[in-house]
Chains A and B, each alone.
Chain A
Amino acid sequence: MLDDLYNEMVKDHGSHPRNKRPMPDATCQAPGFNRTCGDSLVLYLKVENDIIKDASFVGEGCQIFTASASLMTDRLKGKTTAEALAIFESFHELLTSDVPVAAEFGKLAALGGVRKFPVRVKCATLAWHTMKNALAEGAAEPASTE
């Protein structure tokens, strides 16, 4: 069960996250923060003509959180904002239900093991909720999944 959670993909992205950099020319950004465990990030998006041209984050947290932020920012590039939100929907289902891990999930499937660890779902979804806030713009509080 532990190998399902901390598989090679999660450990790789958790220890060596991609897209972990500030983005001075971001068109939108949002903070996310889970108070009790301390996972925190700022998510940056560059959206042009409704296409996410670039996605990055800065922040610190556990491996599950970091891997999820890394894999998410990789996945979002080139997607429309509607597609991004749809991916979040299905990703959330992947973590919280018994839906089969379909090929469409691609690398995100590596986080499927989280479903057996319900207390860690909040770690895996923080970056995604933050992304939603960034796209919506104007959220008064940092995103939180606690």
Chain B
Amino acid sequence: MSTLSSAVTAPFDVEKLREDFPVLKQTIHGKPLVYLDSAATAQKPHAVIDAIRRFHEVDCANIHRGVHELSQRSTAAYEEARIKAKRFLNSRYTDELIFVRGTTEAVNLVSSSWGRKNVKSGDEIIVSAMEHHSNIVPWQMLCEETGAALRVIPMNEHGELLMEEYAKLLNPRTRMVAVTHVSNALGTINPVAEIIRMAHAAGALALIDGAQAAPHIKVDVQALDADFYAFSGHKVVGPTGIGILYGKLALLNSMPPYQGGGDMIKSVTFEKTIYNDLPYKFEAGTPNIAGGIGLGAALDYVMRVGVDQIAAHEHALLVYGTEALSQIPGLRLIGTAREKASVLSFVIEGLHPHDIGTVLDQMGIAVRTGHHCAQPVMDFFKVAATTRASLAFYNTFAEIDALATGIRKTKEVLT
């Protein structure tokens, strides 16, 4: 496992780590690739690519109930990934971890299964002003269906939630508080432990969207006392199409199934079906087995590198990048919270993000432009779109320099 051994070197050796990511070793339009779009999806290390290939080349079989060797191997590898997720999130029980397609499906699972059973007309659901569409729309759909009302925690011009306003929104009708841990558009790290504590004090549950947090900061669902916590594999250097929903055991046990089908049942007759136990009750049909195994390899990799080490390196990059970009005339950072992770979102006076994105791409610099699936955030800051550079632990200070130089050149090209 040479790819993993390189990950345990200390101090943090980013050049060595970069060797693990084959995508990074290429030129784009003749320039070395500077990948600053990890908030959209992170690149994959050999360890993940190899685990997926190994599954397909050596162990491929459907999981559960198979008595033959390959099925036993694939079942073991898939379930091993669940145990890795348990370690990653520090949940108490393995059964509290449900494989889903990603954070979006996790939120939909909770809003459908828990929501339909527990939310009635007159109830209230709280989200925040900086949510990704995936943590807004499922709740809106639930509200529309049940007659519940959606309430929104406002934020200030730095992109920080107004906690005193949140306190005012909480009341005995509040059923659920669904908030992002780290904002994908702004980088804000929300005080989710406090948000959860206040929700519980009001008798409500809390779901945390961890899509943008999981790869960047330490997550401990027990310490947070989160009722539900969701993240996507592909943002934690794993494959797309796989993610994890954590839910407290008693809650998951009390919830009806999300989808019906194979694997989620104990027995089926035309008169009566008995549902399976956790976690399988929520995993109908043949799952993304290769994805689950890839996710397990990704979580292993990230834990070997060390989430604290990752957070420290990325924080240093963020501070460096904030300083570098702030010196560019006409550039305005969108999202300047005191607690921030991994995101440098900005606008430049007189220049449109799509033009900036095209010019940077010609320099080999990959950034994302647009509304980042957070249109309410764009509306709040009165911009149609931003340019977003997002960081991962495999990024370097030299890449930040390249970005700053690139932006200055972009201004020359476009004006």
Contacts and interface: CB of A to CB of B under 8 A. Distances in A.
Interface of A: 1-2, 5-6, 11, 15, 36-40, 60-64, 117, 119-120, 123
Contacts of B353: 37, 62
B384 A63 contact: no
Given A37-B369, A38-B385, A63 B362 contact: no
A62 B415 CA distance: 13
27 contacts: A2-B358, A2-B362, A2-B413, A6-B355, A6-B359, A6-B413, A6-B414, A11-B414, A36-B370, A36-B371, A37-B353, A37-B354, A37-B369, A37-B370, A37-B384, A38-B378, A38-B384, A40-B384, A62-B352, A62-B353, A62-B354, A63-B352, A63-B414, A64-B354, A117-B358, A120-B358, A123-B354
B206 to A, nearest CB: 31
B350 interface: yes
Given A6-B414, A36-B371, A38-B371, A60 B384 contact: yes
Contacts of A62: 352-355
A100 to B, nearest CB: 24
B351 to A, nearest CB: 8
Say whether chain A's binding surface is mostly helix, strand, loop, or mixed: mixed
Contacts of A64: 354-355
Interface residues of B, number: 18
Nearest to B375: A35
A64 B371 CA distance: 18
A2 B414 CA distance: 10
A63 B371 contact: no
A1 B362 CA distance: 8
Interface centre among B29, B354, B358, by most chain A C-beta atoms within 10 angstroms, is: B354
A5 to B, nearest CB: 7
Interface string B342-360: 0000000010111100110
Given A11-B415, A36-B370, A5 B384 contact: no
A62 B414 CA distance: 11
Contacts of A60: 384
Nearest to A1: B362
A63 B355 contact: yes
